Amino acid sequence: MSQRNVTKLEKPAVRRTLRRFWEVTRMKPGAAALAVFTSVAYIALLVFVNTWVMGLIVDRVQAAPVAADDVWTVFGPYILALLAVNLIGQACSKLQDYAVYKLQINGNYHLARLCFDTLSNQSMTFHTSRFGGALVSQTSKFMSGYTQMVDVVVYSLIPTIASTACTFIALAPAVPAYAAALAVMLVVYVIVATRMYQRILPLSAETAKAQNRLSGVLSDAVTNILAVKTCGREDFEKDLFNQADLDAMRAESRSMRATMQRGFTTSGIITVIMLVVSIFVAGGNAWFGISSGMLVMMFSYTYQLSMRFNYINSMMQRMNRAIGDASEMARILDEPRLVEDAPGAPDLAVIRGAIDFEHIGFAYADAAQGDRVFSDLNLHIEPGQRVGLVGRSGSGKTTLTKLLLRLSDVQDGHVYVDGQDISACTQQSLRRQIAYVPQEALLFHRSIRENISYGRPDATEAEIRRAAQLANALEFINRLPAGLDTLVGERGVKLSGGQRQRVAIARAILADAPILVLDEATSALDSESEALVQDALENLMQGRTSIVVAHRLSTVAALDRIVVLADGEIVEDGTHAELAAAGGEYAALWSRQTGAFLDSE
pLDDT tens column, 91-131: 998 999 999 999 999 999 999 888 888 887 776 667 666 76
* C-alpha–C-alpha distance, residues 485 and 465, integer Å: 12
Q: Who has greater pLDDT, 69 or 475?
A: 475
pLDDT of 287 reads: 64
- Crossing angle of helices 292-310/158-171, nearest 10°? 160
Instruction: Categorize the per-residue pLDDT at 2 as very low, low, confident or very high, splitting at 50, 70 and 90.
Output: very low
Indicate if the pLDDT at residue 600 is higher than 60.
Answer: no
Indicate if the pLDDT at residue 196 is higher than 80.
Answer: no
Indicate if the pLDDT at residue 597 is higher than 60.
Answer: no
- Per-chain mean pLDDT for the chain: 81
Stretch 178-201: mean pLDDT, rounded? 78
Indicate if the pLDDT at residue 406 is higher than 60.
Answer: yes
| Residue-wise pLDDT tens digits, 136-146 | 878 888 888 89
| Residue-wise pLDDT tens digits, 198-243 | 677 677 777 777 877 887 788 777 767 767 776 777 788 888 888 8
Distance set, CA 170 to CA 40, 52, 82, 166, 185 (Å): 15, 9, 18, 6, 18
- 3-state class (DSSP) for residue 386: strand
How many CB atoms within 10 Å of residue 331? 14
Stretch 535-542: mean pLDDT, rounded? 73
* C-alpha–C-alpha distance, residues 197 and 322, integer Å: 14
Degrees (nearest 5) of the Cα angle 516, 519, 525? 110
- 3-state class (DSSP) for residue 505: helix
pLDDT of 64 reads: 66
Indicate if the pLDDT at residue 479 is higher than 70.
Answer: yes
% of the chain with per-residue pLDDT over 70: 86
Contact 494, 488 (CB under 8 A): yes
| Residue-wise pLDDT tens digits, 409-418 | 888 999 999 9
Indicate if the pLDDT at residue 186 is higher than 60.
Answer: yes
| Residue-wise pLDDT tens digits, 357-396 | 999 998 887 666 667 888 889 999 999 999 999 988 878 8
* C-alpha–C-alpha distance, residues 545 and 562, integer Å: 13
Distance set, CA 164 to CA 53, 88, 305, 489 (Å): 19, 21, 7, 57
Lowest mean pLDDT among 172-186, 285-299, 416-430, 455-469: 285-299
* C-alpha–C-alpha distance, residues 587 and 257, integer Å: 69
**Adjacent-strand bridge partners of 362:** 374
| Residue-wise pLDDT tens digits, 21-31 | 999 999 999 99
Contact 138, 328 (CB under 8 A): yes
**What structural domains does the chain harbor?**
16-333 (1.20.1560.10)
pLDDT of 25 reads: 92
pLDDT of 8 reads: 38
Lowest mean pLDDT among 232-246, 313-327, 467-481: 313-327
Contact 39, 154 (CB under 8 A): yes
* C-alpha–C-alpha distance, residues 548 and 404, integer Å: 13
* C-alpha–C-alpha distance, residues 122 and 339, integer Å: 7
Indicate if the pLDDT at residue 69 is higher than 80.
Answer: no
Q: Who has greater pLDDT, 342 or 359?
A: 359
% of the chain with per-residue pLDDT over 90: 14
Indicate if the pLDDT at residue 323 is higher than 90.
Answer: no
- 3-state class (DSSP) for residue 68: helix
Instruction: Categorize the per-residue pLDDT at 133 as very low, low, confident or very high, splitting at 50, 70 and 90.
Output: low
Stretch 270-280: mean pLDDT, rounded? 74
**Adjacent-strand bridge partners of 356:** 380, 416
355-362 and 374-381 strand pairing: antiparallel
Indicate if the pLDDT at residue 267 is higher than 90.
Answer: no
* C-alpha–C-alpha distance, residues 538 and 521, integer Å: 13
Indicate if the pLDDT at residue 197 is higher than 90.
Answer: no
Indicate if the pLDDT at residue 255 is higher than 60.
Answer: yes
**Adjacent-strand bridge partners of 548:** 388, 518
412-417 and 355-362 strand pairing: antiparallel
Contact 99, 314 (CB under 8 A): no
- Residues contacting 334, CB < 8 A, separation 6+: 16
**Adjacent-strand bridge partners of 379:** 357
H or E, element range at 403:
helix 397-404
Q: How far apart are the first and last CA of the chain?
A: 44
Edge-to-edge strand order for the sheet containing 374-381? 374-381, 355-362, 412-417, 420-421
Stretch 423-450: mean pLDDT, rounded? 85
pTM: 0.64
Stretch 281-293: mean pLDDT, rounded? 65
Q: Who has greater pLDDT, 66 or 148?
A: 148
pLDDT of 170 reads: 81
386-391 and 561-566 strand pairing: parallel
pLDDT of 311 reads: 73
Edge-to-edge strand order for the sheet containing 386-391? 434-437, 515-519, 545-549, 386-391, 561-566, 569-574
